[in-house]
Amino acid sequence: MSASGAPFRELVVDLDAVTANVARLRELVGTEHAMAVVKANAYGHGAVACARAALAGGADWLGVADVAEALQLRAAGIDAPVLAWLHDPGEDFVEAVAAGVDIGVSSLAQLETVAAAASGAGPAYVQLKLETGLSRNGIAPEHWEAVFARARELELAGSVVVRGIFSHVSNASPEDDRAAVAAYRDGLARAEFAGLRPGLTHIAASAAALSLPESRFGMVRLGIACYGLSPFGAASAAELGLRPAMTLRARVAAVRRVPAGTGVSYDYTYRTDRETTLALVPLGYAEGIPRHASSRGPVAIGGSRYRIAGRVAMDQFVVDVGDADVAVGDEVVLFGDPATGVPSADDWAEAADTINYEIVTRLGGRLRRSFRGGAA
Ligand SMILES: *Cc1c(COP(=O)(O)O)cnc(C)c1O
């Protein structure tokens, strides 16, 4: 089936779906600005291609965790505004500031380091991240006043521009998120009192952006929803008008007819209960297929649904296809757009006791990634 010396294992990303999802989300949230979050290689979808697709759909900001992820976008020629918010203590920010990357600042020490990195290269653009209840990074409320005052000083000295003030919510409950929004509003008021005039205000990621209108402010940061998956789990992606961008597929590498009582894969956690056909799929936990989905993960072969039989191994798993006419080389779809009759990333999340975010982000190993659609 393959001239490349490797079994066919492919992750297909539909860039037109990303573009359409972002356009749809812009329509739904109606904010002045929309950031497409492309951290972690765009949740496994391919950062550079997805960044371009999201910009084509109307995103006017890109968001990443690391400075290195931002610099990867710049190296690919993407000059759209980009914010990076999670930093190593030793990060010096010189390259980031020179590349025009906005730095999310979570402490006074970080603010000083960014200001120092700006010397000579013009002002550094920063966005102050406020802790409002998530207990991750972000400036603690007791330090807001000191950081705001210092930021204003650095603005007047010309080394820093506070372009935005932002935070992040827990999704624990609407009440918890409203409390975070209230704390954030308090932070914005105090920043204004300190003389700061941040043009960008943002606290909502996909879930809050879609479900809590008062969290939208001037911008929302959209991650999972850009890729056509719902932050609320199964079913609602289609209800929201979103289309999953990722399809994971392979081809049957071997078939074997076996009698009843045949043990399948390591530990024989699955035994056939009748004469049946076993199909071998060349994908395993090295590719990020969760071993936790052993005997549970769904696949589609020839328009029918099956489940994994027994353990997911490092390179392969087995599917019991009964008496179906399945042959070597047949396409096996693990997940894609459920509107086409195949399982969804949400089905896999359920099978592995996790969330759709983890299913798509963890894929890698020997998978080949290919793109459909897009400008190119
Ligand atoms: C990952 C992340 C997002 C995007 O979250 P989604 O739930 O995927 O929309 C937004 N903001 C921050 C700070 C993040 O870390």
Is residue 252 assigned to a domain? yes
Tell me the CA–centroid distance for residue 223 and ligand 1, in Å: 5
Ligand 1 atom nearest residue 39's Cα: 1
Instruction: Indicate if 221 and 256 belong to the same structural domain.
Output: no
- Per the CB < 8 A criterion, the answer to whether 57 and 21 are in contact is yes
Residue of 39, 43, 184, 285 marked active site: 39
Using CA of residue 70, residue 72, residue 74, residue 79, what is the dihedral sign?
negative
Tens digit of pLDDT for each residue in 109-143?
999 999 999 977 789 999 999 999 999 999 999 99
Predicted local confidence at residue 122, as pLDDT: 81
Ligand 1 pocket mutation pick from 25, 33, 37 by most atoms within 8 angstroms of CB? 37
Instruction: Indicate if 218 and 259 belong to the same structural domain.
Output: no
93-104: average pLDDT: 97
Distances (CA, A) of 253 to 12, 241, 281, 319, 370: 19, 36, 6, 11, 20
Residue of 129, 266, 268, 357 marked active site: 266
Tens digit of pLDDT for each residue in 28-53?
999 999 999 999 999 999 999 999 99
H-helix or E-strand spanning residue 161: strand 160-166
Instruction: Indicate if 121 and 163 belong to the same structural domain.
Output: yes
206 Cβ closer than 6 Å to some ligand 1 atom: yes
Predicted local confidence at residue 1, as pLDDT: 46
Tens digit of pLDDT for each residue in 236-261?
899 999 999 999 999 999 999 999 99
pLDDT beyond 60 at 7: yes
Tell me the CA–centroid distance for residue 165 and ligand 1, in Å: 15
Predicted local confidence at residue 131, as pLDDT: 97
231 Cβ closer than 6 Å to some ligand 1 atom: yes
Tell me the CA–centroid distance for residue 94 and ligand 1, in Å: 25
Tell me the CA–centroid distance for residue 150 and ligand 1, in Å: 28
129 Cβ closer than 6 Å to some ligand 1 atom: no
- Mark whether 266 is an active-site residue: yes
Nearest alpha carbon, ligand 1 atom 14: 205
Residue-number span of the structural domain to which 205 is assigned? 31-227
Predicted local confidence at residue 236, as pLDDT: 85
Is residue 327 assigned to a domain? yes
Ligand 1 atom nearest residue 104's Cα: 13
Last residue of a domain, one of 227, 254, 276: 227
Distances (CA, A) of 134 to 66, 139, 182: 19, 11, 14
Nearest alpha carbon, ligand 1 atom 8: 223
Tens digit of pLDDT for each residue in 295-331?
999 999 999 999 999 999 999 999 999 999 999 999 9
List CB contacts of 226: < 8 A, sequence separation 6 or more: 18, 21, 22, 25, 36, 37, 50, 54, 57, 59
Instruction: Indicate if 195 and 102 belong to the same structural domain.
Output: yes
168 Cβ closer than 6 Å to some ligand 1 atom: yes
Tell me the CA–centroid distance for residue 259 and ligand 1, in Å: 50
Nearest alpha carbon, ligand 1 atom 13: 168
Instruction: Indicate if 223 and 253 belong to the same structural domain.
Output: no
CATH code at 317? 2.40.37.10
Predicted local confidence at residue 120, as pLDDT: 72
Instruction: Indicate if 257 and 213 belong to the same structural domain.
Output: no
Nearest alpha carbon, ligand 1 atom 4: 223
CATH code at 189? 3.20.20.10
pLDDT beyond 60 at 2: no
Q: Where are the alpha helices (DSSP H) in the chain?
A: 15-29, 39-43, 47-56, 67-75, 94-98, 108-118, 141-157, 174-193, 206-211, 236-239, 345-351, 356-361
Q: How large a percentage of the chain has pLDDT more than 90?
A: 95
- Mark whether 39 is an active-site residue: yes
Q: Are strands 276-281 and 254-258 parallel, antiparallel or unpaired?
A: antiparallel
Q: Is the pTM of this model over 0.75?
A: yes
Last residue of a domain, one of 158, 193, 227: 227
Instruction: Indicate if 209 and 296 belong to the same structural domain.
Output: no
182-194: average pLDDT: 98
**Average pLDDT, whole number, for the chain?**
96
Into how many domains does the chain fold? 2
Instruction: Indicate if 74 and 184 belong to the same structural domain.
Output: yes
Is residue 238 assigned to a domain? no
Is residue 292 assigned to a domain? yes
Count of beta carbons in the 10 Å neighbourhood of residue 251:
19
Predicted local confidence at residue 235, as pLDDT: 63
- Label residue 3 by pLDDT band (50, 70, 90): low
List CB contacts of 15: < 8 A, sequence separation 6 or more: 49, 50, 52, 53, 245, 371, 372, 373, 374
Last residue of a domain, one of 167, 197, 227: 227
24 Cβ closer than 6 Å to some ligand 1 atom: no
Phi, psi of 145 (to 5 degrees): -60, -45
- Label residue 78 by pLDDT band (50, 70, 90): very high
